[in-house]
């Protein structure tokens, strides 16, 4: 038999900038405060709340895109795109936007989402049924129905000419985006990437969660966006070093996709590969950010997979318990939660970000404190 060679060890990617828009507020500091014991957020109350199912919802407080980008060109932007634009604006302000044409050509965007703006899809569809002349739809709203609208708007507004990708993968979408970014940079597609995930809060998605029965009764629903500027390590101070990111699919059919043993075993294999490629021993991992908070069946499977790979469950960070279920943005907000704790002087030095989905997708990202 021919021996299979081990994959090469990864080169760390430095996180040099971070933008976060979440129900806790703007930036890492409010997120760290919300993650402290007793720092739970109050549910959103206001116009439109009655359209949602009887669950606690967490919206970004007092969010208006014009307050951040001005009124020009923002009138028809959907909420998902608006969240992404503000988070990217924060991230680029930390490191400075590309100034030369060469820098713009070598700077790109990799953004995770599920289907784009669900509220835009449903609103336009409703207009087509209820309008007196349904064929007279507002053409300015059509771009919002395209899944890659947010990533495209980020590139246009910041004059970024490099790689532009939108990654959809359900619960594991954000970790798939980090994996995509690692591969792209390893083959020379970009010198710097804005990587993250975004998800908006809307009534149609909330009712879909309610009908699915996938979430426990105590689960809340949230929204947000976290974006990270990543590049090869250099002189610029880093917030974190991203090591290996591994993703996989472990559900061949509807029945096996819901099999906790299949998903937990797949996650354990992903974690082991990620640690091996990162040169990190299981005992070095002191923090794990879990993604399947309040997911019936998945929460136990995720914890079991971590224990199988590490031999224990390190200090858990459950961003979803504070911010609510954020689906495709979950992995990005989990990483933001780890960085927020590190920045506030909490946590250890090596963290593991994990994600599992009801569709059988799993992922694991290893992060080290500089």
- Position 258 confidence tier, pLDDT thresholds 50, 70, 90: very low
Using the predicted structure, report yes or no on whether residue 127 has a pLDDT greater than 80. no
In this predicted structure, what is the pLDDT of residue 6? 61
- Read off the pLDDT of residues 204-239 as tens digits, 9 standing for 90 and up: 999 999 999 999 999 999 999 999 999 999 999 999
- Residue at token pair 């933001």: 336
Find all residues with CB under 8 Å of 361, minimum gap 6, and list them: 169, 170, 171, 172, 176, 247, 248, 249, 250, 251, 355
d(CA 227, CA 109): 10
Topology (CATH) of 13-231: Peroxisomal Thiolase; Chain A, domain 1 (3.40.47)
Phi and psi at residue 361, to the nearest 5°: -80, 140
- Read off the pLDDT of residues 45-89 as tens digits, 9 standing for 90 and up: 655 788 999 999 999 999 999 999 898 888 889 999 999 999 999
Q: Helices then strands (H, E): number in the chain?
A: 13, 13
Every domain of the chain and the residues it spans? 13-231, 240-368
Helices 28-35 and 330-343: crossing angle in degrees, nearest 10, is: 90
Find all residues with CB under 8 Å of 276, minimum gap 6, and list them: 6, 244
In this predicted structure, what is the pLDDT of residue 7? 65
In this predicted structure, what is the pLDDT of residue 125? 78
In this predicted structure, what is the pLDDT of residue 2? 52
- Position 260 confidence tier, pLDDT thresholds 50, 70, 90: low
- The stretch 93-121 carries a mean pLDDT of 91
Using the predicted structure, report yes or no on whether residue 133 has a pLDDT greater than 80. no
pTM of this prediction? 0.93
User: What is the DSSP code (8-state) at residue 257?
Assistant: H
Instruction: Provide the CATH number for the domain formed by 240-368 in this structure.
Output: 3.40.47.10
What contacts 24+ positions apart, CB below 8 Å, involve 101-104? 101/161, 103/191, 103/192, 104/159, 104/160, 104/161, 104/162
Calculate what percentage of the chain has a pLDDT beyond 70: 94
- The stretch 275-293 carries a mean pLDDT of 97
Of 4-8, 40-44, 45-49, 226-230, highest mean pLDDT: 226-230
Q: Do domains 13-231 and 240-368 have the same CATH topology?
A: yes
* HEC letters along 222-247: ECEEEEEEEECCCCCCCCEEEEEEEE
């Amino acid at each position: 038999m021919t021996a299979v060679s081990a994959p090469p060890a990864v080169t760390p990617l430095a996180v040099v900038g971070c933008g976060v828009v979440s129900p806790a507020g703007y930036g890492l500091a409010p997120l760290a405060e919300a993650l402290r014991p007793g720092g739970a957020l109050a549910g959103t109350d206001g116009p439109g709340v009655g359209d949602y199912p009887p669950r606690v919802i967490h919206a970004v407080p007092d969010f208006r895109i014009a307050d951040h980008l001005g009124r020009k060109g923002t009138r028809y932007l959907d909420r998902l795109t608006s969240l992404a634009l503000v988070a990217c604006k924060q991230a680029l302000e930390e490191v400075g936007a590309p100034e030369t044409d060469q820098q713009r050509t070598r700077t790109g965007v990799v953004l995770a989402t599920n289907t784009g703006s669900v509220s835009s899809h449903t609103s336009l569809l409703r207009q087509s049924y209820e309008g007196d002349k349904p064929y007279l739809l507002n053409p300015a709203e059509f771009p919002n129905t395209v899944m890659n609208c947010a990533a495209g708007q980020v590139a246009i507004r910041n004059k970024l000419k490099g790689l532009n990708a939108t990654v959809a993968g359900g619960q594991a979408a954000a970790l798939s985006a980090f994996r995509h970014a690692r591969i792209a940079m390893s083959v020379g597609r970009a010198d710097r990437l804005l990587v993250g995930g975004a998800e908006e809060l809307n009534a149609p998605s909330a009712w879909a969660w309610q009908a699915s029965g996938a979430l426990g009764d105590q689960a809340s629903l949230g929204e947000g966006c976290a974006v990270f500027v990543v590049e090869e390590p250099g002189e610029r101070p880093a917030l974190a070093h991203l090591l290996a990111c591994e993703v996989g699919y472990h559900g061949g059919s509807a029945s096996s996709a819901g099999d906790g043993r299949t998903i937990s075993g797949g996650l354990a294999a992903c974690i082991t590969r990620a640690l091996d490629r990162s040169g990190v021993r299981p005992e070095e991992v002191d923090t794990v950010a879990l993604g399947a908070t309040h997911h019936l069946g998945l929460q136990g499977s995720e914890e079991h997979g971590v224990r199988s790979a590490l031999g224990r469950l390190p200090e858990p960070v459950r961003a979803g318990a504070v911010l609510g279920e954020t689906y495709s943005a979950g992995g990005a907000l989990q990483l933001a939660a780890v960085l927020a704790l590190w920045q506030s002087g909490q946590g250890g030095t090596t963290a593991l970000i994990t994600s599992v989905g009801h569709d059988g997708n799993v992922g694991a990202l290893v992060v080290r404190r500089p």
